[in-house]
Amino acid sequence: MASDQRLPIAVIGATGQQGRSVIDALLEQGVPVRAVVRNPDSPRARALRDAGAEVVTADQEDEESLSAALSNVAGLFFMTTFDGPDGTAGEVRRGRTVAEAAARAGVPHVVYSSVGGAERNTGIPHFDSKFEVEKRLTALVPATILRPTFFMENLAEQLAPDGEGEIVIRMPMPGDVPVQMVDVRDIGRAAARLLMEPGAHGDAIELAGDEPTLDRVAAQAAEAFGLPARFETIPLEYLGGDEDLKAMFRWFAGGSAYQADLSRSRALVEGISDLPTWLITQRARVLAAGTEQG
């Protein structure tokens, strides 16, 4: 798509990490962006405006405001979350509302960020809820489903060394089971390409940049940070009463959970980050945080 495209691409969830990554990738390509936010005066919304995006107000619970925000756009990116008191039921409701608003507004193409494995009857509640959104969306408008795997960013908080100067990564699963992962920045780059080339990459794609075991994650963190690092398996009970997360980690532990085609991911996102590349970017952040605390 040429950079002189007149109609903007709308991004719902623009102030979150996925939405912002999509906006950054689109703006880098010279594509106009309409950031759809609930609070246009928040610091993150102001930052989007400063970056060059048009900022409009709408709420995923309000189809009328969404339809207005989605009028006269070239495409739409959105994602949903199960945060909040109504959990996955709220996620499904909000996702369906966005889908119906997009249809009402005549959006020509939508990219929805779901989750790897959503279509495979995992029994994980927040995977199943996203699949419900997928089904409603694809019944209403032309859409491409982007299914990211485990976010590398989920590891970020565990990279800070402990009081002994050691990095300890803890999760409730074995250390020798591979887990496909992706950098959130690459989700944005993938979504931007899917939006700019509607229909050119199939109806759905599972996205990953690497598939290390967690033992390997620790070894690569040690190499990147120059510090001792290890992985430690913790019991599922550490998750308390969160049955959703327990189901997800049981799924991970079974092996072959995510099934992204790495070659297809690399073809979609040129230079997609593997874990060592991502760790190098995190090293500067962690060291800077340590300096500030010191």
Structural domain contains residue 207? yes
228 part of a folded domain: no
pLDDT at 256: 80
Residue 173, Cβ neighbours under 10 Å: how many? 22
- How confident is the model over 50-98, as pLDDT tens digits? 999 999 999 999 999 999 999 999 999 999 999 888 999 999 999 999 9
Cross-strand pairs, 36:
12, 56
Instruction: Note whether residue 119 is domain-resident.
Output: yes
What is the total count of domains within the chain? Answer: 1
Structural domain includes residue 232: no
pTM of the model: 0.94
Q: What is the CATH number of the domain that holds 179?
A: 3.40.50.720
Give pLDDT, residue 218.
98
Position 5 scores a pLDDT of: 52
For the chain, first and last CA: distance in Å? 48
Q: How many CB atoms lie within 10 A of CB 40?
A: 14
Of the chain, the percentage scoring pLDDT greater than 90 comes to 91
Compute CA distances 273 → 27, 38, 207, 237, 262, whole Å.
Answer: 20, 31, 11, 33, 11
CA 253 to CA 174: how far, in whole Å?
6
Q: Which residue has the tokens 């080339």?
A: 197
**Orientation angle between helical segments 214-225 and 275-293, nearest 10 degrees:** 60
Predicted pLDDT of residue 286: 76
pLDDT of residue 290: 56
CB 196 within 8 A of CB 29: yes
Task: Tell me whether residue 3 is in a domain.
Answer: no
All residue ranges of the chain with pLDDT < 50 are 1-4, 291-294
Looking at residue 4, its pLDDT comes to 41
Q: Is residue 42 part of a domain?
A: yes
DSSP letters for 196-256? HSTTTT-SEEEE-SB--BHHHHHHHHHHHHTS-EEEEE--GGGGTT-HHHHHHHHHHHTS-
For residue 279, being part of any structural domain is answered with: yes
The residue range of the domain holding 23 is 9-213+242-293
**pLDDT tens, 113-146?**
999 999 999 999 999 999 999 999 999 999 999 9
Helix residue spans in 86-213 (DSSP H): 87-105, 125-140, 184-196
